A = this chain, B = another copy of it.
Amino acid sequence: MNRREPIEYANASPQVRAVFDDIKRSRNVEDVNNFWKYMAHDPATLERTWTSVKEIMSPGALSPLVKEMLYVAVSATNGCGYCIASHGAAARKAGMTEAMFGELMAVVGMANETNRLANGYRVPIDAAFDR
């Protein structure tokens, strides 16, 4: 199979289909998104990544909404276009309003700015924080 093409369910191996089935069931969607169809070129990575994502993104001390917003914050910082789009959609599905997205991006922008100010001025860590 050409690695530049997504692997669709119809052409997938049983191992890949089992992961796709679990994604569809867990997320209650009719089809998996492109990320998983490309990961399917490496079934070991597909399975390990899905197992980890499923465990990490499920409700815990943090809500799925907060977790998706953290995902967007990291993805915008790294400039990953695919991840901004897919986790932005997931965050909205989990309840992120446009006002929340606006504030999320404002924090991300400011954090990226002050990270560099702290670097450039070589600010030493306060004793109070170093615990």
Contact = CB atoms under 8 A, between A and B. Distances in A.
Contact of A104 (B52, B62, B84, B122): B62
Contact of A116 (B48, B98, B105): B105
Per assembly, the copies of the chain total: 6
A61 B115 contact: no
B74 A112 contact: yes
A40 B66 CA distance: 23
A96 to B, nearest CB: 9
A121 B36 CA distance: 11
Contact of A76 (B4, B55, B120): B120
A44 to B, nearest CB: 7
A55 B103 CA distance: 10
Contacts of A55: 44, 48
Given A62-B104, A69-B70, 20 more contacts: A3-B98, A4-B130, A33-B126, A33-B129, A38-B122, A42-B101, A44-B55, A57-B107, A66-B66, A70-B70, A70-B111, A71-B107, A74-B115, A75-B111, A76-B120, A77-B77, A79-B80, A105-B116, A109-B116, A109-B120
10 contacts: A2-B131, A3-B101, A38-B121, A45-B106, A49-B113, A56-B106, A70-B111, A77-B77, A81-B125, A84-B122
